[in-house]
Structure 1
């Protein structure tokens, strides 16, 4: 298992940076998160559906924007996930 660049691509001619070259390690890790987790009232993380997780994000984002304004929101992003997961 591994990743190989596209040698015909005009931008990088198949060369990969450290993230692209090693991404498959994270993608195939035994502890990779594959199900959303939501913290319950006891503070424990419990599995949730994607709809439940996204609805919670939307609800909390709207509440924060309403109560504290636009500067109350930030996003932390990482190269350890799939682009589709972010959306």
Structure 2
């Protein structure tokens, strides 16, 4: 039984014998990947910001994963545009 089924049973059939079964909890093992899109070493801040704004307006679902770094991280200079995902991202 998945969590949605359990939630619905608890709400609409609280006396169901299925609710007596133990709950198996699985933790998703997702590896985060940081992809450098534009480095501040190669592009000016205004060029990077325009590209980020254009991309984020077209791909709102990735808005929280697409940003410029406020500080240098993992050898990527501050001000660079990165995309952080938990796997492959397919864009049109």
TM-score normalised by length of structure 2: 0.27
Task: Tell which structure's C-alpha radius of gyration is larger.
Answer: 2
Answer 1 or 2: which has greater strand percent. Answer: 2
Answer 1 or 2: which has greater helix percent. Answer: 1
TM-score normalised by length of structure 1: 0.29
